[in-house]
Amino acid sequence: MTDIILQGCGALGSRLLRVLENDYRALNVVGAIDNAPEKSGKTLGAICGTTRFADVTITPDLASCLAGLLEKPAALIHMTESKPGRIESQLSEALQAGLNVISAAESMFYPWLRFGDMAERLDKLARSQNVSITGMGINPGFSYDSLPLLLARATSNVTAVRINRTIDVTGTGPGDIEHVGYGLTPEQFNAGVERGDIVGHMGAPESLALIADYLDMEIDLVKERWDLETADFDVDSGDPTLGILPPGRVVGIRQYAEAYRGEALVLRTCLSMYYQPERFGLKEADTIEIDGAMPVRMTIEPALESLFGAANVLASTIIPAIEATPGLRNGLALPIVGPRAPRCHVIDRNRTLKPGYVPLFSPKD
C-alpha cells in the first residue's frame, strides 16, 4: 500500500478520490490540504463524498497535514491552480518535505519551455531531496500530446498534425475559471488577454513543442488566439462561485494554437471550451488528424471529460512518478499506464492449456 496526500479538495480532487476509491486499491489517501475556511477541519467524506477515505481530515497547510501522520507519505498530488507564480512555493514546500509531487497544474506539464527559471529551481530541489516532480492531466498530458504521439507510432514521414477538442466545462472549479475568463464581458475578456491575465487553456505551446520534438518536426513559431462566445440567454456554469451567467457574458471560448515552420502551418490545435456546448450547436468530441506516409484519423465521441479524465490520468501517473529518477520529469517519458493494482495473470496449471483455450489465474494480493 502506497500512502499519498492531496492538496486541493475541489472539483478535481473530488473526482480523483472517486477514481482512487474505485480502481486503485494500492494507493491510500492519508492526508488532505485545502486552505479554504469552509473545508479546513472537515473530513473528506463531508466535503468530497468519498467513503473509502471518509475519515481523513482536511488541514489548512502541509505542515499541519504531515504533523498528524505517523509516517511520511510517498507523494503529494497537487490540484490547486495553474499560474506558475502562485504554485511554485506550494511545490517547493512539498519537495523540501521529501515528497514526490504529481501536479495537475497546466504550467507544470513542460515548464522548461516558458518557465525555465522555475523549472530549474524545482529540478534542483527535487534532486537534492531524492524525489521526483511531474505535471500531468487530460490536456496537456493526454489529448494534445500522449494520444497523438501514440497514434503517430503507426505511421511515418509525418508532415502535419491537427487536433480538435470540443468539451463541456460545466462544473469547472475557480482555479480554471480565473485564467480562462468565463463570466466576463467581452470587453473585460479582451482587456485581460491584452494584459496577459486571460490565457485560456495553458499548455498548448508545450504540447506542440513536444510533438515536434518526438516526431522530429522543426518548428520556429507558435501563435495563439482566442475567440469568445456569449449568449442571449442565461447559462448555468455549474460552479457555485460563478453561478448563473446572464446574457452577454463569456460562456465559451475557442482557442487556437498553431505551430509554423517558416510560413508553413504544420501543427494545429483548436480547443472549444463551452458551458452547455449543445446549446450552441457544438458536439463534444476529440478529433486527431495526422498527415504522413499513412494518414491517421481518429474521433472520440463524446470528448474525454475534462475533470474526470484529468483525475484518471493523474491517478495512473502516481506510481510511475514515485518510481521515476529524481528531478523534474517530463510526464511523456514516464510509463503511459501505471498499475491500478498489484495483479499478474498467469497460466492456471489446474486446467488444461489447449488450442483456443487459455486458462488464466490471478493470485490474490
The CATH architecture annotation of domain 2-137+308-333 reads 3-Layer(aba) Sandwich (3.40)
pLDDT per residue as tens digits for the range 86-142: 999 999 999 999 999 999 999 999 999 999 999 999 999 999 999 999 999 999 999
**Torsion region of 17: left, alpha or beta (phi above 0 gives left; psi -120 to 50 gives alpha):** alpha
Strand partners, 344: none
Strand partners, 327: 132
pLDDT per residue as tens digits for the range 79-98: 999 889 999 999 999 999 99
The whole model's pTM is what?
A: 0.91
The CATH architecture annotation of domain 146-304 reads 2-Layer Sandwich (3.30)
Rounded to whole angstroms, what are the CA distances from 244 to 58, 229, 251, 305, 322?
A: 29, 16, 10, 21, 41
Whether 59 shows a pLDDT value over 80: the answer reads: yes
Domain boundaries, the chain: 2-137+308-333, 146-304
- What is the full DSSP assignment across 240-273? TTT-EEPTTSEEEEEEEEEEEETTEEEEEEEEEE
Q: Is 184 helix (H, G, I), strand (E, B) or coil?
A: coil
